[in-house]
Structure 1
């Protein structure tokens, strides 16, 4: 049986098929030099049609770039990082840039080892992400010869950091409940030593008109359950709505309300924070919750690192990205999307 060998397509093949010079074809594919949009799009289309695959080594030697980015995270389970990594990849994939994702598991030695390995691979930049806004990034990131972008973490002022706007997100939740007529709203949230918990709690206090109550505890269903029992064991008027600092807490709150023979949302409305869909969609009733737009955070971080690797100027400091409200049945108004 005769074997069929397929010759690798070259840049010369692309140029010939497109009717342009080799240098023009190269500039079009690499988005460099002066090439008009029509020619660039034509060259890219033909390259795809004939199956041209750029030689990564030759490309990196010519541009002095590796077309790789390192992403370092302490998020062991990936609940926060994986959506952000998807956003980073979405921003970079069309530019031929790959992402190496390294998890540190909060081990400083492992973080140092990953960073050294990424530098040896000559990555073009580093994206650092954490599980909480007030976690100190590794000091090794401060004096690197390559760009560093922070996402869901706060880096130095001379860098750029992308974080969710927790205050705006909390305001969304409380404003939505007030618009629906709820007036006795309590807030059950996570540990007070978390910056995000404090920001959300302060915004809740500012947004509520009547004796706002905050209950700090754990980011857990158990705490949501215990805190709800505590709230309803107090005397006086009972709350008609509970704003929770996380979806896990909200699930515990709903379980406790059910055991207290209270209906959600008929007796008490519940709003969460995170839009962790494995919880929010499966809660009964499905949970209205604040979405931190993690994928968009990652996409913005990807665009920023791309600009920096091209020596383009970007705004530094903390960039707070807006959250959104995903309205489901736990507050009794499915389909409404208030924004503030």
Structure 2
């Protein structure tokens, strides 16, 4: 199948009925928008059939639907967002509301969310509400005025809700990495599974004297990770709670060494804590990972890569949480059957030099 345009031409190849088909695609000297009628003409179908094929509606053979989509891809056809919104009675936007002003957790979630929605032509509007209920309500009203099709709510910790009641919001809401009502669709990282990954890895390296240095006990994430650590290391393994900071990691080593405890494996509740631990051990002439293996939590690349040696750490998969939030909110918008309740997504271990050993085999 080939077609010709009164313009400069390029060739693209698509697969059609198991064969490679060369198609000549329009390239003007100035940018020219490919219209639906161009796709229809090239695919030798009506405009109505082309529209239905691209929208996944209407009755036609699968061969026709595939041919239209192949031609649209080859031409670089992009549906007009306003026309799509009018025809579907949707705004093709999703709102993201957060109180994570630094973006430490929200930006990876937003990246995953955007990646999940962009192929459907859906844009993401983000608002940072911090902890001000008046500002939060104002931002929400603005999003509702813009007729967003759904909302994703995220934050800076899993046990604190945003200062906003969304119970009466007339559009679908998905919570990601923040506290959520019991009957809501919500997503978090599986902190317990991630902590077990780290502790099992240290044990598998032959480290028998393990300690856990983590954040404040009032944080649910810190409590969950500490409990999982003790499930593997034993109830007598030391757990030290403090700030989520390098300074606390540094101070914790002083406390452990001052008490005569000399662990040969330390699981840290965050990468910042782990970096402070590594620095304090270096100051004492303790080799990492020769004498002590270190594992962090977060896979915050700017910290993990800058630690010397680079930090083995647990990745919470925040981008994956964002992608799953996008999938779920899209399904809710489209009227899909999505069961309410929490979903815990698995973490993964990223092995670098701070613990010794080799990365686990893929598969």
The answer, yes or no, to whether TM exceeds 0.5 is yes
Gaps of 5+ in 2: 1-28
2:94 to 69, 81, 85: 69
Select the structure with the greater relative contact order (CA < 8 A; seq sep ≥ 6).
1
Structure 2 CA distance, aligned partners of 1:136 and 1:176?
A: 33
2:264 to 207, 218, 240: 240
Distance verdict in 2 for CA 1:273–1:24, change over 3 Å? same
Distance verdict in 2 for CA 1:33–1:197, change over 3 Å? farther
Task: Give 1 or 2: higher helix fraction.
Answer: 1
- Quick check: 1:325–1:338 contact (8 Å CA) kept in 2? no
Distance verdict in 2 for CA 1:337–1:255, change over 3 Å? farther
User: Structure 2 length normalisation: TM-score?
Assistant: 0.87
Any idea what SS the aligned residue of 1:206 has? helix
Residues 1-340 of structure 1 correspond to what in structure 2 (within 5 A)?
8-209=33-234, 211-235=236-260, 237-336=261-360
- Quick check: 2:312–2:354 contact (8 Å CA) kept in 1? yes
Any idea what SS the aligned residue of 1:24 has? helix
Give CA deviations for 1:62-94 in whole Å, capped at 9, x if unaligned.
211111101111111212111111111111111
- Quick check: 2:132–2:163 contact (8 Å CA) kept in 1? no
User: Structure 1 length normalisation: TM-score?
Assistant: 0.93
Structure 1 CA distance, aligned partners of 2:348 and 2:320?
A: 11
Gaps of 5+ in 1: none
- Quick check: 2:81–2:121 contact (8 Å CA) kept in 1? no
Paired residues in the alignment total 335
| Cα shift at 1:130 | 0.8
| Cα shift at 1:6 | 7.2
Give CA deviations for 1:225-256 in whole Å, capped at 9, x if unaligned.
01110011113x51111110000000000011
Give CA deviations for 1:242-280 in whole Å, capped at 9, x if unaligned.
110000000000011111111111111111000001011
| Cα shift at 1:9 | 4.1
Structure 1 CA distance, aligned partners of 2:150 and 2:201?
A: 40
Distance verdict in 2 for CA 1:297–1:34, change over 3 Å? farther
Distance verdict in 2 for CA 1:32–1:140, change over 3 Å? farther
Superposition RMSD on alpha carbons, in Å? 2.0
| Cα shift at 1:36 | 4.8
Distance verdict in 2 for CA 1:5–1:168, change over 3 Å? closer
Any idea what SS the aligned residue of 2:343 has? strand
Distance verdict in 2 for CA 1:130–1:6, change over 3 Å? closer
Distance verdict in 2 for CA 1:286–1:33, change over 3 Å? same
Distance verdict in 2 for CA 1:188–1:67, change over 3 Å? same
Any idea what SS the aligned residue of 1:102 has? strand
Structure 2 CA distance, aligned partners of 1:297 and 1:89?
A: 12
Q: Return 74-83 or 46-55, whichever deviates more.
A: 46-55
